[in-house]
Amino acid sequence: MVKDDFQRFANLRFLRTVDASLLRAFFSRYAIPPDQLDLALLHTAPDDGRAAVIDYLLRTPKTEIPDSLTHDLHRIDRLGVPLGQDALVEAARRRGLALVPAGEAAKTSARTLALHAFIAHPVIFDEAEVGIAFMAPPSVAEFVAAEEGIVADLSDERLRHLQERAREIFRADLREEFCEVIPYRDGGEGHVLIRHGAHLTIAEVVEQGQKAIRSYREIASAVLAYSAEEGRIKVWGCGKATRTALARAYADIILDRPGLFSSATARSICTLERVEANRGAFAFRHAQEPRIDKVLIYEAQVNRMVDGSRGGQRVALSLIARDPAGDALAALHASRPDIAYGAGGWRLAHLVIKVGLKSDQPRPPMIAVKIKPPEVLSFPRHRHEKLVMDLLRDNGILCSHEPALVSAAAE
């Protein structure tokens, strides 16, 4: 943990509000000499004890702080964010437990919850650490198969073969030999976390008052999240070319279907053809989803396409309209009545929609979704993926991958 990590943990707002008994229970695990940190103060004079914790974290030379303390602070800091809070709550829910009483949940910060779980519920904390890696970021690489319902085989033998293939993929990307595969099942979904070496980092550092050059290689994580029901795999945490190679390895080894994610249309996730067909009059239908209050088209971009000098087409003109009221597409067409899709030379490049949820709050939550065919669907997936994907599917935004159509396209 670097100095900045200690500073984040020693955040004054956090230390003013966290229960002093939690701090005492945490630091008492590391046999810190009383002349460095007097933990009794957290019992007899909590404010002085909190000040002592801050002083210890920020003023003690890092070489004198136990490595185990540094490691554990790093783990707590990683889960002490809203995403980590979600992972902790989900891990507790799977075990039928409540981390804090219902009346205190709304007043418990993410970092306090992480510290409490680390001390009182270590098994839940460990599960949340793995679970947070499987919470998809807003933008992922998706591959859709022509066939659904293929069950993932996460047996030890298959995972060993996948680990060897992944090691070859990352070694070719100059990331050395280290590679380990961790499986994770979520209902009918077979997920895999691949921990591997990141690119080598070389840094100039100060050691005993002298300049020195040190190199190190961090451990990075790539995730493959497969849904048999949808015939879809999502990959994130690595470069674009690596994502494709890992998806193909998953199909070859875990699904025993070589080429399943290699068709010409496997990366075609979304389309705006139905929106283009309705020109500026398109509106999202959402009556079938009672949680949605409204869907606003906040931003729309159209491109004027012309023939390129080397074949294919290029963008000659781009127009973007934004409307907080949710009529960006209509406004764009109203300003340029000459926009005609298809043979007219125009193409709808992307939309940004905002999905408003029903709520009693003064400012109801809004989900921003960027749709950029054929591959990009970007939105907060770890909370709203099913709701958003169902909305897009019902409005013709998700591409169809019926076997006959995919086979014909591949030919």
The span from the CA of 76 to the CA of 9, in Å, is: 9
Q: What is the pLDDT of residues 340-399, one digit of tens each?
A: 998 889 999 999 999 999 988 888 889 999 999 999 999 988 778 899 999 999 999 998
Report residue 6's pLDDT band, with 50, 70 and 90 as the boundaries. low
Q: What is the pLDDT of residues 243-282, one digit of tens each?
A: 999 999 999 999 999 999 988 788 899 999 999 999 889 9
The per-residue pLDDT for 10 is 61
The per-residue pLDDT for 11 is 64
Report residue 13's pLDDT band, with 50, 70 and 90 as the boundaries. low
The per-residue pLDDT for 62 is 76
Residue 406 has pLDDT above 50, yes or no: no
The CA R_g of the chain, rounded to the nearest whole Å, is: 26
Q: What is the pLDDT of residues 280-294, one digit of tens each?
A: 899 999 999 999 999
Report residue 190's pLDDT band, with 50, 70 and 90 as the boundaries. confident
The span from the CA of 297 to the CA of 123, in Å, is: 44
Q: What residues have CB less than 8 Å from 286, skipping those under 6 apart? A: 292, 294, 295, 355, 391, 394
Packed helices 110-120 and 122-133: angle between N→C axes, nearest 10 degrees: 130
Residue 303 CA neighbour count, 13 Å, CB half:
13
Number of H helices, E strands in the chain: 16, 12
The per-residue pLDDT for 332 is 94
Q: What's this model's pTM, rounded to 2 decimal places?
A: 0.69
Given a contact cutoff of 8 angstroms between Cβ atoms, the answer to whether 188 and 228 are in contact is yes
Residues in the chain: 411
